[in-house]
Chains A and B, each alone.
Chain A
Amino acid sequence: MRAVNAVTSSWPGLQVDRPTFASVAERELDAVHRYLVFLTGNRAVAEDLTGETFEKAFRGWPRFDPRRGTPRAWLCRIARSVALDHFRAEERRRRREERYAGSAGEVVSEVLGPSSLEAALAQLSPAEREVVALRVVLDLDGPTAARVLGISPTACSTRLSRALKRLEELIDDERVR
């Protein structure tokens, strides 16, 4: 494990401790990957998107301002944008296939895992899974998670509460089976 390095911003007067990109990548890689696994519901896709997220973050690192949020929240915003682009591309691909093949395109199946919890998670919508990921798994506070999702903190709490309730119900159903 490398030591977490921090440098001071080169701008006099700002005096903000700014971590290095490598240290942030090492520290937040698992968190971003977890978030994308929950959001996409597919480990293979999440792996690709995580790599893409860090490449994008690498290019945008000079624009990162530590005063405006934590590196984790910043990376999650990038990861969300990358994932949405992926969803759009997938949707376009399905439409194209429908148009040329005359039948419904193949929907990438959600592959989380064999456990009842993973099976229940797979039945949640991406929006529900991502709020669970941000608030429960990554342990972001309400306002930060709301900013990542682009909604109000109240809406974020409501969405989380509904998602957890539904998840519990789905787990119970899975256990009954």
Chain B
Amino acid sequence: MNEFAELVHDLRALPTAAPESLRERVLALGEPVPRRTLPQVSWRRSLVVLVPACAVALVSAAVVHGVFSSGTSPKPQALTSERGVAGEALAPTTRPPFVPPDGNRHQDYEASMTVRVKDLDALTDRTNEAMQVARSYGGYVASVQQSTQAGEPGEAYLILRVPVGRVEEAMVRLSDLGTVLARQVSVVDLEQTLRQQRAHILRLKLFIARATEQLKASLPADVRLRLQLQLQGARDDLARVTRANGATLNQAALSHVALTLTTQKAATPVQKSSTGRFERAARDAGSFLAGTGAVGLFLLIVLSPLIVVAGAAVVGLRAYRRREERRLLAA
């Protein structure tokens, strides 16, 4: 023990003080100019602060999003869609009116509606009634499918074509077949398409008239042949564009109504109360959070290989430096 103490004493007594020249050199450095730097915070402490801060920011953003989005209910003019919550029926008093077709314009009018009926017997009766409604307004039934399997709710799916001028009345009558569960109307203006088709037809007719006139005169054989070919092409084009124009007019004349009749029971209607907006806000906020989570998960999945590679590189670099240090200091 005494030997060890002696060794320690000898080691500490070794003349290893810094020489005066070195002391002067170091002390000549003076005092560094004080810089106002951010406080040094370890990454663990940073995480402790940053993680809750990010969580609070995310939740706040979700709440703000929920509150703002629940306060507005934008509906495009040309496309309306109403659906009861969880299959809840649209109450007749709160049911918004149909978007009527514009009588002065050609429009492609499409509507779909889901109507709940009482039972399978009613399903058959209401299907027949729907077909009669279409016919009574000068339309026709494009297709009808009805399925009634044991243990399953019965369903009938009809495609009705009703003249656009009377589709509003037809929709009202179809709504009376049962309880409306969902309704959607889509209106696409066809005026632009028709204008283009008419202009094209006019151009083709003019060309055909001129070409026919030219062919009456005497022309060189090759010019005549080329003109005849162009005339034939123009006539073919005219026939095609005229057919397309007819189809567009037909599309504008008859609306397309997809009607679904179902016996499926509606879910218990949700009581409308003063908490409705709060619930919508909560639901929107939840959706926002779920969306953010999905994006985060996607990024994690996409970036995880890079993170693993970067982590492995850091670990490898550290191991390499450690081994190199050991080698240098073992010499």
Contact of B11 among A11, A59, A136 (CB under 8 A): A136
Q: Interface code A123-164, partner B: CB below 8 Å = 1, 0 otherwise? A: 001110010100011000000000000100000000000001
Q: Contacts A50-B18, A164-B4: A127 and B330 contacting too (C-beta < 8 A)?
A: yes
Q: Which of B1-57 contact A (CB under 8 A)?
A: 3-4, 7-8, 10-12, 14-19, 22-23, 25-27, 29-32, 34-37, 39-40
Q: Which of A58, A63, A91, A118 contacts B40 (CB 8 A)?
A: A63
B residues in contact with A132, CB < 8 Å:
11
B329 interface neighbour in A14, A34, A127, A136, Cβ under 8 Å: A127
Give the distance in Å from the alpha carbon of A155 to the alpha carbon of B17 in the complex.
Answer: 29
Kindly state the separation between the CA atoms of A37 and B18 in the bound complex, as whole angstroms: 10
Residues of A within 8 A of B3 (CB): 168
Contact of A29 among B10, B23, B32, B325 (CB under 8 A): B23
B329 touches A50 (CB 8 A): no
Most chain A beta carbons < 10 A, residue from B25, B36, B329: B329
With beta carbons under 8 angstroms apart, the residue of B14, B29, B32, B36 that contacts A10 is B36
* A37: nearest chain-B partner, CB-CB: B16
Once A37-B16, A47-B19, A113-B15 are accepted as A-B contacts, the answer to whether A25 and B34 lie under 8 Å apart by CB is: no
Task: Report yes or no: B14 in contact with A113, Cβ–Cβ below 8 A.
Answer: yes
Could you say which residues of chain B place their CB within 8 Å of the CB of A38? Answer: 16
Count of chain A residues with Cβ under 8 Å from any Cβ of B? 47
Report A57 CB to chain B, min CB distance, Å: 9
**Which of chain A's residues have a CB closer than 8 A to the CB of B329?**
84, 87, 125-127, 130
Q: Do the beta carbons of B27 and A25 come within 8 Å of each other? A: yes
A8 contacts the other chain (Cβ, under 8 Å)?
no
The answer for the CA separation of A91 and B331 in the assembled complex, in Å, is 11
Given A30-B18, A62-B35: A51 in contact with B11 (beta carbons within 8 A): no
- In whole angstroms, how far apart are the Cα atoms of A126 and B36 in the complex? 39
B326 sits at the interface (CB 8 A): yes
The answer on a CB contact under 8 Å between B22 and A10 is no
Cα separation A74 to B112 with both chains bound (whole Å): 76
Which among A32, A62, A136 is the interface contact of B8 at CB below 8 angstroms?
Answer: A136
Q: Which 8 A-B pairs have the closest CB atoms?
A: A127-B329, A33-B18, A34-B16, A87-B328, A126-B329, A54-B26, A65-B40, A61-B32
Sample of 25 A–B contacts (CB below 8 Å): A9-B39, A10-B34, A11-B39, A20-B31, A21-B31, A21-B32, A22-B30, A25-B26, A25-B27, A30-B17, A33-B17, A33-B18, A33-B22, A34-B14, A34-B16, A47-B19, A50-B18, A51-B25, A87-B328, A113-B14, A118-B14, A125-B330, A150-B325, A164-B4, A164-B7
